[in-house]
Amino acid sequence: MKATILHNPRCSKSREALALLTEAGAEVTVIEYLKTPPGTDELARLYAKAGLSPRDGVRKGEAEAKLLSGADDATVLTAMAANPILIEPPLVETDKGVVIGRPPEAVWRIL
């Protein structure tokens, strides 16, 4: 099985999700999204496939996230693409779907 993970190596949940994928034998493509941020179209596609709104994928602990309360989806996606620290890691995609790996065990739903 192939999987793609938007990964932050400094995030313990992201590291745990990556370990679960590896242990499950997935062929994993790792994208360090802070170095290679996804664009608005890619983020919109991922959240739609996950059945989530972009707001569901915002890392709420970031100061900039508070500025997005009440913002529309396009504004949230633009902010996330411009400042990828706003993306809640890890975001994992397989042929079976997309999940935010919080908790990391959520990844099992798409394996």
Please write the tens of the pLDDT for every residue from 21-35. Answer: 999 999 999 999 999
- pLDDT tens-digit profile of 61-78? 898 998 898 899 999 999
Domain annotation for the chain: domains and CATH numbers: 2-110 (3.40.30.10)
Average pLDDT score, the chain: 96
pTM for the predicted model, two decimal places:
0.94
Annotate 63-107 with DSSP letters as a single string. Answer: HHHHTTTT--HHHHHHHHHHSGGGBPSPEEEETTEEEE-SSGGGG
Residues with a catalytic annotation lie at 11
**Residue 86, pLDDT score:** 97
The tokens of 37 are what? Answer: 């941020």
Q: Name, in order, each residue with C-beta under 8 angstroms of 35's C-beta and a sequence gap of 6 or more.
A: none
**Residue 68, pLDDT score:** 92
